[in-house]
Amino acid sequence: MLKLLSTSCRQGRSGFPCSRFPDGASNGALEKSPLFRVIRSLRSYTGEKTLFRLTASFSSDSGEGDGDAAKLVDAKAVEEAEYASTGAEAEEAKASSAIVPTIPRPEDHLNVMVVPLPHRPLFPGFYMPVSIKDSKLLSALADNCKRSVTYAGAFLFKDEPGTDPSLVSGTETGKSIYEFKGQELFNRLHDIGTLAQISSIQGNEVYLLGHRRLRKMEMVDEEPLTVKVDHLKELPYNKDDDVIKATYFEVISTLRDVLKISSVWREYAKTYSRYIGEFTYGRLADFGAALSMANKLLCQQVLEELDVHRRLKLTLDLIKKEIEINKIQESIAKAIEEKISGEQRRYLLNEQLKAIKKELGLETDDKTALSAKFRERIESKKDRCPPHVLQVFEEELAKLQLLEASSSEFNVTRNYLDWLTALPWGDYSDENFDVHNAQKILDEDHYGLSDVKERILEFIAVGKLRGTSHGKIICLSGPPGVGKTSIGRSIARALNRKFYRFSVGGLADVAEIKGHRRTYIGAMPGKVVQCLKSVGTANPLILIDEIDKLGRGHAGDPASALLELLDPEQNMNFLDHYLDVPIDLSKVLFVCTANVIETIPTPLLDRMEVIAIAGYITDEKMHIARDYLEKATREACGIKPEQVEVTAAALHELIENYCREAGVRNLQKQIEKIYRKIALQLVRKAISIETSAAASIHPGKLEQYNEPSKEDLIEDVDGSLSFEKSDNDPSSENVDAAATAESKNIANPEQIGETWEEVEMAEVDLSPDQTTRVGKQINSKVDEVIEIGEKAGGDTEVDKVVIDVSNLVDFVGKPVFHADRIYDQTPIGVVMGLAWTALGGSTLYIETTLVEQGEGKGALHITGQLGDVMKESAQIAHTVARAILLEKVPENPFFANSKLHLHVPAGATPKDGPSAGCTMITSLLSLAIKKLVRKDLAMTGEVTLTGRILPIGGVKEKTIAARRSEVKTIIFPAANRRDFDELSDNVKEGLDVHFVDDYSQIFELAFGSIDSSES
């Protein structure tokens, strides 16, 4: 009994031929073939008649390729099913002993029931299991078997017209094949099929054995489909024909090649060699086609071919393709095997190397080395490390020893110990408590900022008296560019502390402050722990930038997370989510920066000491530009102080008309722009002077130096590049005269560097190698000219570039700002106010005019893109102005009978705030009493309905704006006297400031005393 399992890579392949061969049967050509002799020598026994049956699966419900995995078929069981009746049939025969059953021959079946094949045709002599889902067809086949009608017609099912059979999945075909019935199914079947014997039926699996070729003629019955068939025979052929013999032997030779490279075919051949007897040409062709991996149409083509020679040729093509496929498969398998074996070899060698090093004591394993490293780190700071940290360290280290190095928990524990041991537990830098040295450092880096410097010196003084210092939280607020961030670095240098900065602008994740939980992939500690590891000390200065721009998202509220960090009473036990051990931050000095403090949450603002930096006035900017910005820019541009001079008038013009903002960042950009242009001018001027000097010493030599043409450069690039021209070249004339004329006009910026530009024009489109050699030779010529100039006048000084008001526009362009003062003398109804802006402060005019006048037409129309608060201030001002006018001039009904229009200029700029109330009242009263306001007067203050003046903010900015507009008299609320007194003397110098608490005082200052006749 033979059992054969067909491998999965041969899914959809037919089984081996089934035939009976008497012992020793052969024909002349076959018996002499080498393959036949090998097969006969491998036969395990002789003299025995054997029926060889093998199957390959072509299950119609398979979802892959051309069939399922091969099934086991018992050859003996199949033989008994074919030639002996079943147990049930034996009982029926016994019951009807009067009837002698006869088994019909295959050629007697002219009408057969159709079994459609979805994937591949069935070849004569091969087994095929077919899964039938049509219950009616399955029942009819079972009934036929009971009646000893065990034959059916197996016909291949056609695909949809225009469909590539190699692209249609078996699942789709299996679903649709049994939907066709009757004539439609008859038309979708190939004309030529195989007469198949039903060997057995197991469930819905029907095992078919191919016998001979059939041709369907016509339909006999629709359901189940029964057709009339014609039995086909092979066309006669001459066995001794040389062409047929040659084709036959080529098939044998090709099969031998397939056996060499395909292990699957070798297994088939071994089994085949045991059972083959007679092997005709036609059956050899069927054998090769049945085992090939060709698609069903090519196999059907072999089945339909009755000419043996043509069938052999078709099979030969299929086997040739099989060889190519097996070669590709073998190369892929070899490449994968080499890759895997190489990696395995490398891994084994590495493991052996580790084991050898470990035995020799040269290296320990990973866990031992890591444990030693972590313990060495913690031992150096064990005396200063808190006990709870040491306890956690020992626990985590013990856990690390128990974990496998390949586990994910091992990496988590290793990273945790790395962070835990890298922090500076108890390591503090030596602080500098020298007040005078700190004052010197702060003055070196920043001009002004007396409030900030005073606060830092107080901090140092307290630390000197106590012998130690505690961390503080300072918030520097002010407009951009005033030096908030840079002052933090200077404070760290003055205190001899490490400096670390991080920005929280737009931060919306609490984990950035307090760290991630260790359970998350890629978890890390927060910014504070990262800072401590980076600086290596436990008392750094941490600058938290842009604290007023904190975000808030789904990951929590970072402002609330900062409450613990910036609270001096809580941060001594700051708990990071990643480390999960308390950290002492009480020695850390926190400096926060903000542009506005209104957007900072109140609980967070309450924990910080706010120091306002209002900005710089013109005098301060002049000092900063001279002492800091110019010096740094000169060094960055490589310009010597004696080569350039920026006059004070030019610097003042630059500050007033180009850089009016409160900070100095834009001023630094403009100074850098000026010095870049000066650097370009100096280089061009130096080249021109050196060329002129060389021309005066060796005029003939320079006459020979002219720009070569592009053709000359290309011709000479492979040889020695020559800059000499022929005597007939007119371009070489008067070079000396041109250089002399150019040196005389050197002060004209348009003419500076013409010679240099001419040299630049000599650039041509060459290859990279040519360009390199041309550049080297040009540079050698230029160096020669410069050397000549140095010999002629080595001590010749380059003229100094002077920047003054007259040529400032050439360097920085047209002015950006214009004077805030629109009127030299404000007309009736116009009053100058003072406003705070992001640029530091500005003057603001309030204009009021009469629209129309008539009995009962009193109204007020407001424009100027005003906010709600400012609109309310205008309404309050209108009411207060009517009351004051009624008090001062009772007989004047101006406001009752006049429609007024109040406008605040610069309509594109949004404006809001209550501090323009007193200015609006003054503007309305000026129009009502038809009297001008003092020429050099500006005011600010919020007014109530009773005329009281309330305090305002931005005193310094508004004072600076008044000075910029050359205002000498300023009116402030009385409650702001303290703010004004805190200003530096240079800001208050030359100003006549009045502090009022009622509008009647403003009325006297603005209009003086009036009588009824004037009104």
DSSP 596-610: -STTS-HHHHHTSEE
The last residue of one of the domains, among 171, 202, 231, is: 231
Mean pLDDT of 373-397: 88
Q: Is residue 42 part of a domain?
A: no
In terms of Cβ atoms closer than 10 Å to its own Cβ (0-12, 13-18, 19+), residue 804 is middle
CATH number, residue 874: 3.30.230.10
d(CA 547, CA 604): 10
Q: Per 3-state DSSP, what percentage of the chain is helix, strand, and coil (rounded to 5)?
A: 50, 15, 35
Nearest alpha-carbon partner for 844 in 895, 905, 773, 908: 905
Residue 244 lies in a domain: no
Per the DSSP assignment, residues forming a β-bridge with 611 are 476
Mean pLDDT of 198-213: 87
Residue 275's pLDDT band, with cuts at 50, 70 and 90, is: low
C-alpha 37: how far from its chain's center? 70
Beta bridge partner(s), residue 113: 226
- Residue 942 CB: number of other CB atoms within 10 A? 19
Tell me, what CATH number does 139's domain have?
2.30.130.40
Domain count, the chain: 5
635 and 699 co-located in one domain: yes
For the segment 288-305, the average pLDDT, to the nearest whole number, is 84
What is the Cα–Cα distance from 79 to 410, expressed in whole angstroms?
64
Say yes or no: 12 and 147 in one domain: yes
Asked whether residue 599 falls in the same domain as residue 640, the answer is: no
Question: What does residue 258 show for φ and ψ, rounded to 5 degrees?
Answer: -65, -40
* First vs last C-alpha separation in the chain: 135
Per-residue pLDDT at 689 exceeds 50: yes
Of 256, 265, 180, 194, nearest in space to 224 by CA: 180
Q: Which helix (H) or strand (E) holds 273?
A: helix 263-275
Q: pLDDT, tens digit, for every residue of 702-731?
A: 444 444 444 443 344 343 333 333 344 433
Co-location of 863 and 980 in the same domain: yes
Q: Tell which wins on pLDDT, 839 or 346.
A: 346
* pLDDT > 70: percent of the chain: 75
The answer to the question of residue 298 being in a domain is: no
364 pLDDT above the threshold of 80: no
Judge if 597 and 650 occupy the same domain: no
Residue with tokens 């078919």: 208
Contact between 959 and 983 (Cβ < 8 Å): yes
Quote the DSSP letter at residue 400. Answer: H
Angle at 668 between CA 663 and CA 673, to 5 degrees: 145
**For the chain, what is the total number of helices (H) and then of strands (E)?**
39, 24
Q: How far is CA 822 from CA 248, 348, 574, 830, in A?
A: 112, 88, 57, 11
Question: What confidence category does residue 790 fall into, taking pLDDT thresholds of 50, 70 and 90?
Answer: very low
How high is the pLDDT of residue 164? 65
483 assigned binding-site residue: yes
pLDDT tens string 345-359: 888 888 888 778 777
pLDDT higher for 715 or 226?
226
pLDDT the model gives residue 998: 93
Can you give the pLDDT at residue 20?
35
Evaluate if residue 829 carries a pLDDT over 60. yes
Residue 315 resides in a domain: no
Tell me whether residue 576 is in a domain.
yes
Number of neighbouring beta carbons within 10 Å of residue 691: 27
**Residue linked to tokens 């099979």:** 315
Two tokens, residue 397: 């280290």
Please tell me the distance from the alpha carbon of residue 601 to that of residue 594, in angstroms, as a whole number. 12
pLDDT bin (cut points 50, 70, 90) of residue 273 is low
Q: Is the pLDDT of residue 845 over 60?
A: yes
Across 785-799, average pLDDT: 47
pLDDT at position 796: 44
DSSP assignment of 325-376: HHHHHHHHHHHHHHHHHHHHHHHHHHHHHHHHHHHHTS---HHHHHHHHHHH
How many whole angstroms separate alpha carbon 725 and alpha carbon 720? 14
Q: What is the DSSP letter of 178?
A: G
Compute the mean pLDDT over every residue in the chain, rounded to the nearest whole number.
Answer: 76
Contact 746, 799 (CB under 8 A): yes
Indicate whether 355 belongs to any domain: no
Residues 76 and 166 in one domain: yes
Confidence of residue 68 (pLDDT cuts 50, 70, 90): very low
Highest mean pLDDT among 565-574, 689-698, 792-801: 565-574
Active site residues: 915, 958
User: Is there a single domain that holds both residue 552 and residue 461?
Assistant: yes
Q: Are 481 and 603 within one domain? A: yes
4-22 average pLDDT score: 36
Token duo for residue 954: 């931005």
> Is residue 479 part of an annotated ligand binding site?
yes
Q: What token pair was written down for 472?
A: 């503080």
Instruction: Determine the distance from the C-alpha atom of residue 209 to the mean position of all C-alpha atoms in its chain, rounded to a whole number.
Output: 63
- In tens, the pLDDT along 871-905 reads 999 999 999 999 999 888 888 888 888 999 999 98
910 assigned ligand-binding residue: no
Q: Are the C-beta atoms of residues 125 and 292 closer than 8 Å to each other?
A: no
Q: Give me the long-range contacts of 175-183 (CB less than 8 A, separation at least 24).
A: 177/60, 177/116, 177/118, 178/116, 178/133, 178/134, 181/222, 181/223, 181/225, 182/219, 182/222, 182/223, 182/225, 183/219, 183/222
* pLDDT greater than 80 at residue 782: no
**Phi and psi angles of residue 644, each rounded to the nearest 5 degrees, phi first:** -145, 150
What range does the domain containing 600 cover?
435-613
The answer on whether 236 is annotated among ligand-binding residues is no
> By three-state DSSP, how is residue 726 classified?
coil
- Non-local CB neighbours of 932 within 8 Å, separated by 6+ positions: 825, 826, 827, 828, 926
Residue 485 annotated as binding site: yes
Choose the final residue of a domain: 231, 260, 293: 231
How far is Cα 260 from Cα 601, in angstroms, rounded to an integer? 83
The answer to whether the annotation marks 118 as part of a ligand binding site is no
CA atoms within 13 A on the CB side of 525: 24
Residues 207 and 166 in one domain: yes
Whether residue 581 sits in one domain with residue 451: yes
The answer as to whether 290 is a domain residue is no
Residue 46: pLDDT band by 50, 70, 90 thresholds? very low
Contact 190, 170 (CB under 8 A): no
pLDDT of residue 272: 57
- The DSSP secondary structure of 904-944, one letter per residue, reads -S-TTS-B--STTHHHHHHHHHHHHHT-PPPTTEEE--EE-
With cut-offs at 50, 70 and 90, classify the pLDDT of residue 176: low
Asked if residue 441 and residue 418 are part of one domain, the reply reads: no
Higher-pLDDT residue of 309, 16? 309
Mode of pairing for the β-strands spanning 969-973 and 937-939: parallel
Query: With contact defined as beta carbons under 8 Å apart, do 12 and 66 qualify?
Result: yes
CA distance 937 to 956: 17
Pair 780, 884 in one domain: no
Which residue is it, tokens 């006049």?
898
Cβ(835)–Cβ(906) under 8 Å? Answer: no
Domain boundary, last residue among 787, 803, 819: 803
Residue 909: per-residue pLDDT: 83
954 found inside a domain: yes
Q: Looking at the predicted structure, is the pLDDT value of residue 608 above 80?
A: yes
Mean pLDDT of 808-823: 81
Residue 894, C-beta contacts closer than 8 angstroms, at least 6 positions apart = 885, 927, 928
Q: Given a cut of 80, is residue 238 above it in pLDDT?
A: yes
Nearest-angstrom CA–CA distance, 591 and 586: 14
| Cα 1003 from Cα 559, distance rounded (Å) | 47
